[in-house]
Amino acid sequence: MAGKFDNKCTLHNDYDYRFICSDCRVPVCDYCIVSKNHHRSHSIDFITSENCNQIFQEFKNNNFQFLIKCLDGDKELLNKSNEIFNELEEEHIHNVNTISNEFKQLHTILDSVEKDTIKHLVSHYDENKETHSKISKKLENNSKNAHLITNKYKDTINNFNIQQIFNNDQNIKGNNHQHLELLKHCHQSQMLVKEKNTENKNIDLLNEFNKVTIENSMDFVKNSIKDTFKIKLSSATYKDPKRVKLGGGEYFIYKDGCVIPNGTLYLALGPSIKNLTIGSIPATIQRIALLNGFNLQLTEGLLPNSVQWLHIGAIRKPLIKKSIPQSVSFLFLLDGFNQEISEIPPNVTQIYLGDTSFKIPQTLIKSVRVYKTPSCKQDLNGFNEVLWNSNGYSQIEM
């Protein structure tokens, strides 16, 4: 029968606490004592008021106080875990939608390519069909005429007296035309024979047929389609790096509310930042790096109008209109940057591309030069592009 108090071993729920391990100063059950992983070969004592009290005092003075702090810490951890999971969930839905939409579009493209290809094929088939019908008709016609003439003349050709027919035709009122029919048959025969004797003409006729073959590259498409979406795993938690160097310049890592040393020109904003107001970043900063995990929605004026170089990593919010200062000329979209940019300011003349899915709008084709790093997988058709070896350009120490 279960008692009023819980006397079961916290590690082995089916066993009662029976002794105390004096080495570890904890209550133990039979299983604890015997099991290799627990207290085997420790010194085990009976439970007495003395060792009971000893353990209680330790609990009261140390662990109980700490336990309260632990609960708060756990609460914070749970909040953070919820926050991260919510973002992961949001991203998951976004990813699923992206894949569904892309495949929907692909289905439409496939459908239209299939229809167009078949239509194209049918038009060639129709041409051949028409050629076939033309040849058949012509041969049928020829053969009809040839039969007509041969049947008509095969028994009588030696008995024809042209003079007599001619005179006869002239004499009869209403004009008899037997001589004209005769001439027609002569003419037809001449044409038929001429046609048969010119070998090439027959071949020319058949040359109007076009053999249609298809070159099938579907295997290539089928294989490449498997790689259209690569699923990548990376850490879901971000922390500010210890040190950021880009292009040889050391960046000051901004923290919420910190004082930016005078004369600072290069500033890095990391994932720890929760608050920025207009003026937090002084209008003397020339270069800014938005680091992986930067999770603040930038709006107009938060980044000052003195920034000319903007490096953007895998940040977690889109760049809405006017969030990029108008002063920016050099825009670096680093590995993992996958957000939208609503508007690229007109002063931007150079865009550096890492491994990003961001597509530069075609409207910028004349105004920007694109520097492509080895990690950039994009096809930049039409853009004025330069291959850029970015090795050693960025050194971020975590």
Quick one: 21 or 333, whose CB is closer to Zn ion? Answer: 21
Q: How far is the CB of 96 from Zn ion (least distance, A)?
A: 46
Supply the DSSP string of 181-242, one letter for each residue: HHHHHHHHHHHHHHHHH-HHHHHHHHHT---------HHHHHHHHTTSS------S-----S
Q: Which helix (H) or strand (E) holds 253?
A: strand 249-254
Longest Cα separation, the chain: 159
> Is 39 one of the binding residues for Zn ion (CB under 5 A)?
yes
Quick one: 9 or 276, whose CB is closer to Zn ion? Answer: 9
> Strand pairing of 17-21 and 44-46?
antiparallel
> Is 32 one of the binding residues for Zn ion (CB under 5 A)?
yes
Interacting span for Zn ion (CB under 5 A) from 16-24, 310-318, 346-354, 376-384: 16-24
> Is 31 one of the binding residues for Zn ion (CB under 5 A)?
yes
d(CA 286, CA 267): 8
How many residues bind Zn ion, per CB under 5 A?
Answer: 11
> Is 348 one of the binding residues for Zn ion (CB under 5 A)?
no
CB 344 within 8 A of CB 366: no
Interacting span for Zn ion (CB under 5 A) from 23-31, 85-93, 154-162, 244-252: 23-31
d(CA 286, CA 195): 88
Quick one: 32 or 276, whose CB is closer to Zn ion? Answer: 32
Q: How far is the CB of 17 from Zn ion (least distance, A)?
A: 8
> Is 44 one of the binding residues for Zn ion (CB under 5 A)?
no
Residues 105-134 close enough to bind Zn ion by CB under 5 A: none
* Dihedral angle computed from the Cα positions of residues 126, 127, 133 and 135, in that order, rounded to the nearest 10 degrees: -160
> Is 42 one of the binding residues for Zn ion (CB under 5 A)?
yes
CB 315 within 8 A of CB 294: yes
| Site string (276-305) toward Zn ion, x via CB under 5 A | ------------------------------
Quick one: 7 or 100, whose CB is closer to Zn ion? Answer: 7
Quick one: 25 or 321, whose CB is closer to Zn ion? Answer: 25
Considering only 12, 18, 179, 317, the residue that binds Zn ion (CB under 5 A) is: 12
Q: How far is the CB of 16 from Zn ion (least distance, A)?
A: 9
> Is 18 one of the binding residues for Zn ion (CB under 5 A)?
no
Degrees, nearest 5: CA angle 66-71-76: 125
d(CA 307, CA 265): 9
Considering only 9, 281, 303, 310, the residue that binds Zn ion (CB under 5 A) is: 9
Rounded-to-5 percentages of helix, strand, coil across the chain: 40, 15, 45
d(CA 357, CA 352): 13
d(CA 334, CA 141): 76
Q: How far is the CB of 46 from Zn ion (least distance, A)?
A: 15
Q: How far is the CB of 4 from Zn ion (least distance, A)?
A: 21
Interacting span for Zn ion (CB under 5 A) from 10-18, 169-177, 200-208, 281-289: 10-18
CB 330 within 8 A of CB 310: yes
Quick one: 21 or 360, whose CB is closer to Zn ion? Answer: 21
Quick one: 14 or 155, whose CB is closer to Zn ion? Answer: 14
> Is 29 one of the binding residues for Zn ion (CB under 5 A)?
yes
Per CB under 5 A, residues contacting Zn ion are: 9, 11-12, 21, 23-24, 29, 31-32, 39, 42
